[in-house]
Amino acid sequence: MTIERWVMAVAGAFILISVNLAVFYSINWLWFTGFVGLNLLQAAFTGFCPLAIVLKKLGVKSGCAF
């Protein structure tokens, strides 16, 4: 899997997990959902993604986004 796919998979998982935590435990988990969404939005415009940097250092290959 490429870095782009890992980033999308992790972001999607974080969003689903935090929404479920908000429904079943505390509405405050939606702040984490918002943080993930804002990070995705800023990464789209700036190209800076902390997870992509970590994955690159771990040796995951980068590829073209769809």
pLDDT per position as a tens digit, 6-43: 999 999 999 999 999 999 999 999 999 999 999 999 99
Cα separations in angstroms, 5 against 8, 38, 45, 63: 5, 18, 18, 9
What ranges in the chain are assigned the alpha helix state H? 3-24, 30-46, 50-57
From the CB of residue 9, how many other CB atoms can be counted at a distance below 10 Å? Answer: 11
Give the predicted TM-score (pTM) of the model: 0.81
Distance separating alpha carbons of residues 40 and 8, to the nearest angstrom: 9
Task: Quote the tokens at residue 57.
Answer: 């250092």
Residue 66 has pLDDT above 60, yes or no: no
